[in-house]
């Protein structure tokens, strides 16, 4: 495949057709090649599915360059390999097996935790280009790559960017109510934490906003669990963008709780951007 390309996994199911449509739209929007991949146990099964995919993409985007590949092996390993060097990797959320059906349980989390490029998981039933804003779930200044992807996605779509930064009180020793005063160390520490947390979006987004002056950015910080806050916000957005935030595990990398929740419950497609492991 070419240096710049979008990869999509298909298996012939209806949900993989939705993933194919999204991937074709994303590739056309970027002006790059589309790679259609089918992971199978027998390569003879792939021919009709891949041919149908090429026909569908051609009718949707006649100018788009499309290449196909059948790969004998498991869908996770196949797409992890195909994602290396890709601008974006796209999969569906349900199906009767193969790649489109891999977004179940631990298989979905393994894929999202291992891909080398941003992973778009197609959820919800609204079209790719419906004018809704892009939603960015921001955890801290270390999320700059994730924020950059969100800015670029909003720019490609020509829509606003909504940024949601969520935090909860952590690592503050509780004090007895009778001993708490307006100047107590606990309250002062809490106030300092609040000021620091609320400054995160401002510092993280300032430089990117200067580089992308045409993007209308709406940012807010909420004092609640990030997974719940983002999940509610996905009802009105085109796509939600979050960092992978890997956790160390003896069986390999695992996703953090926010990406985990969104992959299973988001009301719109989820873009998971790899972060430093």
**Cα 135 to chain centroid, rounded:** 10
Confidence (pLDDT) at 133: 96
Write the DSSP string, the chain.
Answer: --SSEEEEE--SSHHHHHHHHHHHHHHHHHT-EEEEEEEESSGGGHHHHHHHHHHHHHHH-TT--EEEEEEES-HHHHHHHHHTT-SEEEEES--SSTTTT--SHHHHHHHHHH-SS-EEEE-SSS-S-S-PPEEEEE-SGGGHHHHHHHHHHHHHHT--EEEEEE----S-----GGG--TT-HHHHHHHHHHHHHHHHHHHHHHHHHHH-TT--EEEEEESS-HHHHHHHHGGG-SEEEEE---B--TTS-B--HHHHHHHHH-SS-EEEE----
Confidence (pLDDT) at 120: 94
Q: Check residues 99 and 144 and name the one with the higher pLDDT.
A: 144
CATH 2.60.40.10 fits 134-269, yes or no: no
- With a CB cutoff of 8 Å and minimum separation 6, the contacts of 134 are 150, 153, 154, 157, 159, 160, 161, 162, 237, 238, 239, 240, 241
Confidence (pLDDT) at 270: 93
Each residue's pLDDT tens digit, 256-266: 888 888 988 89
CA distance 169 to 189: 10
pLDDT for 245 beyond 90: no
Domain boundaries, the chain: 5-122, 134-269
Confidence (pLDDT) at 248: 55
Domains 5-122 and 134-269 share a fold: yes
Each residue's pLDDT tens digit, 48-74: 999 999 999 999 999 999 999 998 888
CATH 3.40.50.1000 fits 5-122, yes or no: no
Confidence (pLDDT) at 31: 95
Token readout for 142 is 């270390």
pTM, 2 dp: 0.82
Average pLDDT of the residues of the chain: 81
Each residue's pLDDT tens digit, 223-240: 777 788 899 999 999 999
């Amino acid at each position: 495949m070419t240096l710049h390309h979008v990869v999509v996994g298909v298996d012939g199911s209806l949900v993989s057709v939705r993933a194919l449509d999204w991937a074709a739209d994303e590739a056309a929007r970027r002006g790059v090649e589309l790679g259609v991949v089918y992971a199978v146990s027998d390569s003879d099964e792939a021919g009709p599915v891949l041919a149908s995919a090429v026909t569908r993409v051609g009718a949707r985007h006649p100018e788009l360059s499309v290449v196909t590949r059948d790969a004998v092996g498991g869908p996770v390993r196949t797409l992890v390999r195909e994602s290396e060097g890709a601008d974006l990797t796209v999969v569906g959320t349900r199906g009767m097996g193969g790649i489109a059906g891999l977004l179940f349980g631990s298989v979905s989390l393994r894929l999202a935790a291992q891909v080398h490029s941003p992973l778009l998981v197609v959820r919800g039933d609204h079209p790719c280009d419906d004018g809704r804003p892009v939603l960015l779930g921001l955890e801290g200044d270390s999320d700059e790559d994730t924020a950059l992807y969100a800015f670029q996605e909003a720019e490609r779509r020509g829509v606003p960017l909504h940024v949601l930064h969520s935090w909860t009180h952590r690592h503050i020793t509780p004090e007895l109510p009778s001993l708490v005063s307006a100047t107590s160390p606990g309250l002062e520490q809490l106030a300092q934490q609040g000021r620091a947390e609320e400054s995160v979006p401002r510092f993280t987004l300032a430089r990117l906003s200067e580089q992308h002056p045409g993007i209308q950015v709406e940012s807010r910080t909420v004092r609640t669990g990030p997974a719940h806050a983002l999940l509610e916000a996905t009802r009105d957005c085109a796509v939600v963008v979050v960092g992978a935030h890997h956790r160390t595990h003896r069986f390999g990398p695992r996703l953090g709780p926010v990406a985990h929740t969104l992959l299973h419950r988001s009301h719109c497609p989820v873009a998971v951007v790899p972060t430093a492991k």
